[in-house]
A = this chain, B = another copy of it.
């Protein structure tokens, strides 16, 4: 057992990497962080608002500079350093300083893989034209803004109707541009939101002038200088466009880890145990490169969102910096997500019907429409709640909420209900949610949904 501090290398400097490094330092480790890009600690969640010029007070998205992190958090930061190999057995890491293309070896006791995920590509001809962008990191965000500022952009095609696609389409609209969303489903948030819940957001998007088309790009066309001019779709149509934003999900960057012998799980991310340790004894993983297990059923999933990255970074760092490696465990994820776009809040927590059935639950869903405040109060808005419950015990498995106000925080109410195994009956009959006329209706929409679920289950309610 060495009595020097454990030397830990963290690979990856966005979001989870710096969080893990800081946590490891707090637990006594000696930490170096490597990041191939020029910036550290950049979150992707804020990019749409940065692109829309809506952020206040901060010139850019860099939450912490490398210098600030070194000074305040106590770990060394190497930006523009690409780690090309890890030899777990000997504890050797090979890293290239991109500035002068020089490679060197360093020795560490342990490694934390925080290499994140890369934006999925379209894989269509012309994809490398100027004016085609991903929405993944700070460089993407800066390039999109520069393009919109310097080019004569009037119409932007956003490929993908997920959260990022919707937010980017809104950002384009907010910049005064026309935007069209292409999604094979013909709707937005198709993977999070049941079709019956989609109408309010679809109507708001339509009213904003943004189009949603059930088409897929098959080719990007560029002018003689290589600038995008149009997108060809699988219906053979040409959509004139001076910028294309591709937001069709992400894929974990597992290459480095795989070459070090780390196993990839069913979700495509690095398989981990509850301590966020990989199958290689000295390697932990966190953030968007790591697989996590779902709390409700233990199934391994890839859930690349910031709150989970923060949690896995903490667990990986505590275990990597503890001599015995069993200092903390990840208690599972209750997948939850929220977006506000075009004036509509959409939030989901836990399982959808489809994912619940896929997980083996005998799932039942109910959907209700209620109001956000007593109807006689000014400002009351419609609110839709869809609740997914287990037919067997009436357990709440998930929910979706859509409204112009109060949807996201109501998803936050569902999260502990799902997490602690509450039943529809407990939600409908036993939960003391607050009532005050300007803040809520006399019976909360969640409680109304719980009662509807009870009735659908054939239990009294």
Within 8 A of B (CB), among A38-70: 43, 45-46, 49, 54-58
A57, B431: Cβ atoms under 8 Å? Answer: no
Contacts of A46 in B (CB 8 A): 374, 376, 437
A307 on the B face (CB < 8 A): yes
Contact mask for chain A residues 395-426; partner B; CB cutoff 8 A; 1 contact, 0 none = 00000000000101111110111011110001
Contacts of A419 in B (CB 8 A): 430-432
A43, B442: Cβ atoms under 8 Å? Answer: yes
B413, A305: Cβ atoms under 8 Å? Answer: no
Interface residue from B55, B307, B430, B436 paired with A45 (Cβ < 8 Å):
B436
A227 on the B face (CB < 8 A): no
A337 on the B face (CB < 8 A): yes
Contacts of A308 in B (CB 8 A): 432
Contact mask for chain A residues 422-461; partner B; CB cutoff 8 A; 1 contact, 0 none = 1000100111111111111011100000000000000010
A306 on the B face (CB < 8 A): yes
B415, A431: Cβ atoms under 8 Å? Answer: yes
A432, B336: Cβ atoms under 8 Å? Answer: yes
Interface residue from B306, B349, B430 paired with A435 (Cβ < 8 Å):
B306
Contacts of A282 in B (CB 8 A): none
A331 on the B face (CB < 8 A): yes
Contacts of A435 in B (CB 8 A): 45, 305-307, 338
Contact mask for chain A residues 332-355; partner B; CB cutoff 8 A; 1 contact, 0 none = 111111111000010101000000
B57, A375: Cβ atoms under 8 Å? Answer: yes
Q: Which residue of B lies closest to A310 (CB)?
A: B443
Contact mask for chain A residues 194-236; partner B; CB cutoff 8 A; 1 contact, 0 none = 0000000000000000000000000000000000000000000
Q: Contacts A335-B432, A376-B46, A434-B338; is A412 near B413 (CB within 8 Å)?
A: yes
Contact mask for chain A residues 347-390; partner B; CB cutoff 8 A; 1 contact, 0 none = 10100000000000000000000000011111000000000000
A416, B422: Cβ atoms under 8 Å? Answer: yes
A293 on the B face (CB < 8 A): no
State the CA gap A49–B375 with chains docked (Å): 12
Q: Which residue of B lies closest to A337 (CB)?
A: B434
A340, B439: Cβ atoms under 8 Å? Answer: yes
Contacts of A421 in B (CB 8 A): 420
A311 on the B face (CB < 8 A): yes
Contacts of A314 in B (CB 8 A): 429
Interface residue from B54, B412, B416 paired with A377 (Cβ < 8 Å):
B54
A437, B378: Cβ atoms under 8 Å? Answer: no
State the CA gap A460–B437 with chains docked (Å): 40
Closest-CB distance, A180 to chain B (whole angstroms): 23
State the CA gap A421–B420 with chains docked (Å): 9
Contacts of A55 in B (CB 8 A): 376-377
Contacts of A45 in B (CB 8 A): 435-437, 442
B410, A409: Cβ atoms under 8 Å? Answer: yes
State the CA gap A436–B167 with chains docked (Å): 11
Q: Which residue of B lies closest to A307 (CB)?
A: B435
State the CA gap A444–B409 with chains docked (Å): 10
A377, B56: Cβ atoms under 8 Å? Answer: yes
> What are 26 A-to-B residue pairs whose CB atoms are below 8 Å?
A45-B435, A49-B377, A54-B378, A56-B377, A58-B376, A307-B434, A307-B435, A307-B442, A310-B442, A331-B426, A332-B430, A333-B432, A338-B434, A339-B436, A339-B439, A340-B439, A349-B432, A406-B409, A409-B413, A411-B434, A412-B413, A412-B444, A415-B431, A415-B434, A416-B417, A420-B421
Nearest 10 CB-CB pairs, A to B?
A409-B409, A420-B420, A338-B434, A55-B376, A416-B416, A408-B439, A331-B430, A340-B438, A334-B432, A338-B436
